[in-house]
Amino acid sequence: MTLRADGVTRAYGDEVVFRDVDLRVPQGEVVAIIGPSGVGKSTLLRLLGLFTPPDEGSVAVDGTDAWSLPTDDRLALRRRVGVVFQEASLFDASVARNVEYGLRVRRSWRERVHDELRALVGTTELPDTARDALDVVGLADYVDKPADSLSGGEAQRVAFARALAYDPDFLLLDEPTSDLDPRNTAVIEDAMTAAAERDIGVVVATHDMNQAQRVADRVAVLLDDSVIESGPADRVFENPRDERARKFIDGELVY
Amino acid sequence: MVAVLAALMPLADVVSTLVQAAAGPLFVEFPFERTYVLSIIYVSLYVSLSAVALSTLFSVPVALVVGFTDFPGKRLVKAAINTGMGFPSVVVGLVVLFAVSNQGPLGELNLVFTKEAMIMSQFVLATPPITGIALASVTGVQADVRDAAFALGGTRLDVALTVVKEARYGIATAVLAGFGRAISEVGSVLIVGGNIAGSDGVSKTRTLTTAVQLEARQGRYETALVLGAVLLVLVLAVNAVVVRLGDGGQMR
Ligand SMILES: Nc1ncnc2c1ncn2[C@@H]1O[C@H](COP(=O)(O)OP(=O)(O)OP(=O)(O)O)[C@@H](O)[C@H]1O
Ligand SMILES: [Mg+2]
């Protein structure tokens, strides 16, 4: 199974962010999108996450062009993709309620009403997948804490667990370690590779070259307005074909 | 409603005891005073709570639509909300009275001088403030939180429900502000309700406000005082809750 973008172009008004970008995300691999700030990494993740349609080109899951489908069918594709944004954006509720959100919206309305009533009397049981996801980011003890009492780094890890909890086929991460210290960065990086081993296709947008080198199986370099280099991580880092890509990777190209 | 009344009974008793202490016996002079006062409280709460409940069901979806979608005439709707907040209640009463009168579009329903007509006019009065405050609070929910709800697999309806939950303290404030306006309003309920009480001393369309106005005019100051005190306590209690909510919702 793959998530792929074919020849996608995206503009905000007259400003073209990038054009004719191809990206293939197989399940079980970590794909890093690297590029300088403002180049359009977040914009590309929003396209892959089926938030907005591309101006040109297509985004497909398993060979199905998502934007050729009616909204309801697209929802089914969208629900196989987890997205974690740059800001943690937690809901004003407990960590548990945050982490089980994705599971909750997938339940029937009947179950959801029961759920809300149980939450009112305070007898909810966190589903195993949600508990495991919190465990992965090292926050198993935080279940009952209110989200607004967390530190920036803790919030970012809860946001990661929230997307992992419903076991998506693809996981899109936008600078997932920007607020983390080295130890917790390692926790999240391990979680990324562990997710890939569980056959999840992971995409991580980052401007941390070292992180890309540590976790990525494949790399796409986004520069100016297109992907100028992409391929297996080893090959791209050791032997980039594009001259600007080489300079960017070596830190010679300063933005 | 019965529970609320039961809770208010001691309140009315305490107030009347205080007034008696200050101004002599009250319930002795008017044997049906207690029924009279309680029935007035009942009418006031019934009309205001019904109007505010209906208005909330109407206002919150409207606030969501105005806040998060684009449609022609959106600016007009916003202008109407703002103008409506300061709309004179007697004019609202007059319009509702015309609507329910024999010649009006709702004349068939025979609603002149009924609680239902009062609920209608209070609905019209409570809706602009409730919609306005609800609109401000739902649009105050950060875009990235809405995105998160969508990203985690939520439908547009899920996103809307999440926004309502995130804005819950603001929406509660809106509801209480609407209730405050409804319960203390005189003009429109007087016009469409007619301030009617039966000969048995049971209020039909007499509310706390219209009763105070009547009792004061007829020189029955003790009764007016009891009724006024009950109204004051209700409004102060609501305000206290609003202030608590304004603290950033620390009632968790
Ligand atoms: N909603 C928007 N409206 C208009 N322009 C936008 C919008 N979102 C992003 N842009 C512009 O598109 C370009 C790409 O933004 P994007 O957020 O995708 O960059 P990025 O690579 O993620 O940057 P960073 O590394 O700083 O997060 C920027 O020039 C930005 O100003
Ligand atoms: Mg970004």
Average model confidence (pLDDT) across chain A: 92
pLDDT at position A236: 92
Tens-digit pLDDT profile for residues B171-216: 999 999 999 999 999 999 999 999 999 988 899 999 999 999 999 9
pLDDT greater than 50 at residue B59: yes
Who has greater pLDDT, B76 or A250?
B76
Who has greater pLDDT, A167 or B12?
A167
Residue of B nearest to A90 (CA): B145
pLDDT at position B11: 66
pLDDT at position B14: 67
Q: Which of A75, A93, A102 sits opposite B155 (nearest CB)?
A: A75
pLDDT at position B247: 65
Tens-digit pLDDT profile for residues B83-134: 998 889 999 999 999 999 999 899 889 999 999 999 999 999 999 999 999 9
pLDDT at position B19: 60
Cross-chain Cβ contact A101/B150 below 8 Å: no
Q: Name the helix (H) or strand (E) containing A173.
A: strand A170-174
Mean pLDDT of A118-145: 88
The pTM score is 0.86
Query: Nearest ligand, CA of residue A36?
Result: 1
At position B79, the amino acid (one-letter code) is: A
Nearest to B205 by CA among B183, B225, B184, B189: B189
Average model confidence (pLDDT) across chain B: 88
Q: Which residues of A36-49 are buried (b: 16+ CB within 10 A; e: fewer)?
A: eeebbbebbbbbbb
Cross-chain Cβ contact A83/B153 below 8 Å: no
Residues at Cβ < 5 Å from ligand 2 ion: A 42
In order of their start, the domains of chain B are 2-251 (1.10.3720.10)
Band of the pLDDT at B3, cuts 50, 70, 90?
A: low
Q: Which of B145, B153, B165 sits opposite A105 (nearest CB)?
A: B153
Mean pLDDT of A152-168: 94
- Distance (Å, rounded) from C-alpha A243 to C-alpha B101? 83
Burial class (CB in 10 A: 0-12, 13-18, 19+), B26: buried
Token pair in block for residue A216: 């990525």
- Distance (Å, rounded) from C-alpha B94 to C-alpha A64? 61
Band of the pLDDT at B10, cuts 50, 70, 90?
A: low
pLDDT greater than 90 at residue B32: no
Token pair in block for residue B55: 């208005």
Assess contact for A171 and A38: CB atoms under 8 A: no
Q: Which B-chain residues 140-169 have CB contacts (< 8 A) with chain A?
A: 142, 144-145, 147-155, 158, 162, 165-166
pLDDT greater than 50 at residue B28: no
Cα(A160) to centroid(ligand 1), Å: 22
Q: Using a 6 Å cutoff on CB, does residue A38 contact ligand 1? A: yes
Assess contact for A31 and A2: CB atoms under 8 A: no
Band of the pLDDT at A120, cuts 50, 70, 90?
A: confident
Cross-chain Cβ contact A89/B147 below 8 Å: yes
- Distance (Å, rounded) from C-alpha B39 to C-alpha B33? 10
- Distance (Å, rounded) from C-alpha A21 to C-alpha A180? 30
Tens-digit pLDDT profile for residues A69-99: 999 999 999 999 999 998 889 999 999 999 9
Burial class (CB in 10 A: 0-12, 13-18, 19+), A121: exposed
In order of their start, the domains of chain A are 1-80+172-255 (3.40.50.300), 90-167 (no CATH)
- Distance (Å, rounded) from C-alpha A122 to C-alpha B211? 44
**In this predicted complex, what is the ipTM?**
0.91
Mean pLDDT of A35-63: 94
pLDDT greater than 70 at residue B25: no
Instruction: Look at residue B166 and give its three-state secondary structure.
Output: helix
Nearest to B188 by CA among B251, B106, B97, B53: B97
pLDDT greater than 90 at residue A179: no
pLDDT at position B252: 42
A145 touches chain B (CB under 8 A): no
Q: From start to end of A56-154, where are the E strands?
A: 56-61, 64-65, 81-84
Band of the pLDDT at B70, cuts 50, 70, 90?
A: very high
Cα(B144) to centroid(ligand 2), Å: 13
Q: Please calculate the CA angle B51-B52-B58 and round it to the nearest 5 degrees.
A: 95
Token pair in block for residue A54: 């591309």
